[in-house]
């Protein structure tokens, strides 16, 4: 019978994943992440500079003296986007390896090994996809009520952001000081929109904000990557964002916003697209609109009711494709309910330090044996951030209630 040593595990990983991390597996079934271009030149800890013109080249006049003087000179700003890191560790109990060495469980070890590796890549992809819509404060959801260890979420669909066994913490305000203590998620009901936890979060409030432990903003310093909620916020303030006061020209530096909560489903996107083009101009022209499946279903329902039956013998229910102008509607379960993002092609990118994520192998080993825990460990790492290279070509749309 074949035996297995710790060094052999390194070899197995090279055979099973000879091309390293499969980037296609990271983004698979994640619509926005899959469509977001990945730029791999974020290779400096000093930050990536994203220049944005705050006013176009001017100096145009009916008089040559004014034109030559360029009295109204063009202005620009630069977002200095900082690097952030996301980790995902894998653990395989040492006894699984020893059973492969000395017993008769070689196949079982390979199954567990591949399962752990594949699950790590999927978990990393889901976290990147979730964070692309989210805020660097780390907020996963806000509660509408907390009682007896049961969190009722303000948006029931936010339950998909929690996992069984996840350690959670809370704060009174988004990104604020954390309450002491933590909880461990013991149940998630995505239908009811509730999360049950064990443990103690001291003085937890009924409308608190919840985070996964380790991801909450720390003393005013954001730990996570900056998603669409940061780049195109619901409200633009003078607080510098990557060094830029975006109130000097919100639609050019912080995207476009449209409040369609009082519109009907049939017209909200038409009005939103018109507002974007009126504020931005011809540069706002082609891309996708991402929304939660619950909101997408509202568009399906509205349009189904308006279809004509042209063939009396049959009527197929279901519209596969919606489009507003040159923008295609895309359902994405990780998009918050009640919000849609209209993104022009190439306006939003995932900037990474080389091909990321990658297995942490700076010491030459993909995996190592931790004798203090009798566990074989591995670490998946993503260095980089999300960045709006053309903020004015992204729109946040507040949708009608469903």
C-alpha to C-alpha distance for 172 and 210, rounded to whole angstroms:
9
Question: Which residues fall within 8 angstroms of residue 266, CB to CB, at 6 or more apart?
Answer: 302, 303, 306
Q: Which of 253, 241, 179, 252 has its CA nearest to residue 213?
A: 179
- pLDDT band for 76, please (50, 70, 90 cuts): confident
pLDDT number for residue 70? 66
Residue 168 to residue 146: CA distance in whole angstroms: 14
Q: Which residues are CB-neighbours of 274 under 8 A, at least 6 positions away?
A: none
Task: Tell me if the domain spanning 1-57+74-135+224-307+319-402 has CATH number 3.90.1690.
Answer: yes
Look up tokens 């995207």; give the residue: 255
* Helical H segments across 214-367, by residue range: 228-231, 250-253, 265-280, 293-304
What are the beta bridge partners of residue 193? none
What distance in Å separates the CA atoms of residue 356 and residue 249, rounded to the nearest whole number? 33
Is pLDDT of 386 > 50? yes
CATH of domain 137-218: 2.40.30
pLDDT by residue (tens digit) across 1-24?
Answer: 344 455 555 555 555 555 556 677
H helices present in 201-349, as ranges: 228-231, 250-253, 265-280, 293-304
Task: Tell which wins on pLDDT, 165 or 305.
Answer: 165
Q: How far is CA 75 from the centre of its chain?
A: 31
Cβ(344)–Cβ(286) under 8 Å?
yes
Every domain range in the chain assigned CATH 3.90.1690: 1-57+74-135+224-307+319-402
Q: Report the pLDDT averaged over residues 74-103.
A: 84
What stretches of 105-249 show up as alpha helix (H) in DSSP?
106-133, 228-231
Rounded distance between C-alpha atoms, residue 147 and residue 136, angstroms: 28
According to CATH, where is 2.40.30 located in the chain? 137-218
Residue 66 pLDDT grade (very low, low, confident, very high; cuts 50, 70, 90): confident
Average pLDDT across the chain, whole number = 86
**Greatest mean pLDDT among 31-45, 209-223, 230-244, 358-372:** 230-244
pLDDT the model gives residue 110: 73
Question: DSSP readout, 116-130?
Answer: HHHHHHHHHHHHHHH
Least-confidence region, from 64-68, 273-277, 299-303, 304-308: 304-308
Check residue 8 and give its pLDDT.
53
Would you state the structure tokens that stand for residue 234, as one six-digit string? 């619901």
At residue 103 the predicted structure's pLDDT band, cuts being 50, 70 and 90, is: low
Q: Is the pLDDT of residue 153 over 70?
A: yes
What pLDDT shows up at residue 317?
A: 45
Least confident window among 15-29, 155-169, 264-278, 327-341: 15-29
CB 81 within 8 A of CB 351: yes
Q: What is the pTM of this model?
A: 0.86
The sign one gets for the Cα dihedral 370, 371, 372, 373 is positive
Whether the per-residue pLDDT at 318 is higher than 80: the answer is no
**Mean pLDDT lowest among 23-27, 237-241, 252-256, 260-264:** 23-27
Provide the pLDDT for residue 315.
44
**Which pLDDT band, with edges at 50, 70 and 90, does 366 fall under?**
confident
Q: What angle do CA 152, 190, 175 make, to 5 degrees?
A: 50
pLDDT confidence of residue 61: 76
């Amino acid at each position: 019978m074949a035996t297995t040593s710790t060094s052999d595990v390194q070899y197995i990983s090279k055979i099973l994943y000879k091309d390293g991390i499969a980037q296609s597996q990271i983004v698979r079934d994640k619509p926005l992440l899959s469509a977001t271009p990945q730029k791999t030149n974020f290779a400096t800890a000093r930050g990536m500079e994203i220049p944005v013109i705050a006013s176009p080249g001017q100096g145009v006049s009916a008089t040559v003296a004014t034109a030559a003087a360029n009295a109204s000179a063009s202005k620009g700003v630069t977002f200095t986007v900082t690097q952030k890191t996301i980790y995902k560790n894998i653990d395989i109990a040492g006894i699984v390896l020893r059973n492969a060495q000395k017993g008769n469980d070689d196949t079982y070890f390979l199954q567990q090994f591949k399962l752990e590796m594949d699950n790590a890549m999927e978990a990393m992809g889901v976290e990147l996809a979730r964070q692309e819509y989210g805020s660097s404060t780390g907020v996963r959801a806000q509660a509408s009520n907390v009682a007896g260890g049961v969190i009722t979420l303000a948006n029931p669909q936010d339950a998909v952001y929690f996992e069984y066994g996840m350690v959670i913490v809370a704060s009174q305000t988004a990104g604020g000081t954390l309450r002491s203590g933590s909880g461990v998620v013991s149940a998630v009901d995505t239908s009811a929109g509730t999360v049950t936890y064990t443990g103690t979060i001291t003085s937890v409030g009924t409308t608190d904000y919840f985070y996964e432990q380790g991801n909450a903003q720390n003393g005013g310093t954001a730990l996570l990557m900056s998603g669409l909620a940061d780049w195109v916020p619901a409200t633009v303030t003078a607080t510098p964002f990557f060094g830029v006061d975006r109130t000097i020209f919100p639609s050019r530096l912080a995207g476009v916003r449209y409040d369609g909560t009082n519109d009907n489903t049939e017209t909200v996107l038409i009005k939103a697209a018109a507002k974007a083009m009126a504020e931005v101009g011809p540069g706002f022209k082609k891309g996708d609109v991402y929304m939660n499946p619950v909101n997408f279903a509202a568009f399906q329902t509205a349009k189904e009711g308006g279809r004509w039956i042209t063939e009396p013998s049959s009527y197929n229910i279901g519209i596969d494709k919606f489009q507003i102008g040159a923008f295609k509607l895309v359902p994405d379960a990780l998009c918050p309910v009640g919000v849609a993002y209209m993104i022009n092609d190439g306006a939003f990118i995932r900037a990474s330090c080389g091909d990321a994520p990658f297995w942490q192998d700076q010491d030459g080993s993909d995996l190592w044996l931790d004798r203090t825990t009798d566990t074989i460990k591995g670490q998946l790492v993503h260095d980089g951030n999300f960045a709006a290279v053309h903020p004015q070509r992204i729109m946040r749309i507040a949708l009608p209630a469903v």
